[in-house]
Amino acid sequence: MNKIDWSEKSIFRKIIIIMSALQVVAFFALPYARMNSAVGSLNSLANSGIPNNLTGFAAVKLFLSPFAGEMLGGDASAFYVVLFVLALICPLLVLVLNLFNKGKSGYVVKIITAIIMIADYAFITAVAYGLSTAGYEAYPFGMIFCTLEFAMFIISIIGLVKNGKSSGKAGGSNVKQGKHDGTLTGIRGSYAGAVIPLKSGTAVVIGRDPKSCSVVIKGENVSRRHCSVIYDEKNNSYSVTDYSVNGVYDRRGRKLESGRVNIMAPGDEIHIGATDEIFRLG
């Protein structure tokens, strides 16, 4: 599993992570409805086990209890349990994906779950108001979360589009190559078609930071100093060192050892993390 690097996450992903974490906390702490004071006092005296504050967690327990049939006037408790469980599972899934994954999947899953959760929170709100016959007074938190889910739906679409365009424009095109130089050739991505000469023994650093990198690629999936490539004229080989969070992969999808020199042959490819940036060595 990838390490969490908060500084390299886009503002869109940060918003999604924060809101998803708040939704998980809200499931246990925020009531969708509250028992009115008179009925609540009677419940306390009778020790009935019916919760005064109907949080998501309390609702699941309530609808799994023997009281569910009496309160709902039918056998729909399983449906209501699913409604409230979704309010925990969906944001938890989105939270984990976006914390540990910088690819497009986090945005895609959020877009899908946002559609599901807008409907889910609307149903939960209807349930909360429907429990007025059992002495509950509904709060508008369900509709508030509906609005927030719609906002996150839009944010996720923007983040997905930005992620797809995250690679910066190539800094140049073909550069004249010396007789004994190696080359780094862009196969796909912002440097596609560019041929970058590598002088023997001189490191070319690939990454997001223009101050420390000679090959600059923009995007949250690219570390400030992602990796370096050194050509060895004597052995006609390339040394690739991965400094990144998201890794460097060869053409077979195997991850190079992080923090160590990886010897590669001319014709090998390096894939920069979870991006479309691919270079051929030589």
At 166-186, the pLDDT tens digits run 544 444 444 454 555 899 999
Cα 216–222–224 angle (5° rounding)? 65
Q: Are 223 and 242 in contact (CB under 8 A)?
A: no
Q: Are 203 and 228 in contact (CB under 8 A)?
A: yes
> 67-99: per-residue pLDDT in tens?
666 655 556 678 889 999 999 999 999 999 998
Distance CA 37, CA 230 (A): 73
> pTM for the whole thing?
0.60
The pLDDT, as a whole number, for residue 73 is: 53
Among 51-55, 125-129, 174-178, whose mean pLDDT is lowest? 174-178
Distance CA 35, CA 161 (A): 45
Residue type at 248 in one-letter notation? V
The pLDDT, as a whole number, for residue 144 is: 94
Whether 44 shows a pLDDT value over 50: the answer reads: no
Whether 57 shows a pLDDT value over 90: the answer reads: yes
More confident site: 177 or 118 = 118
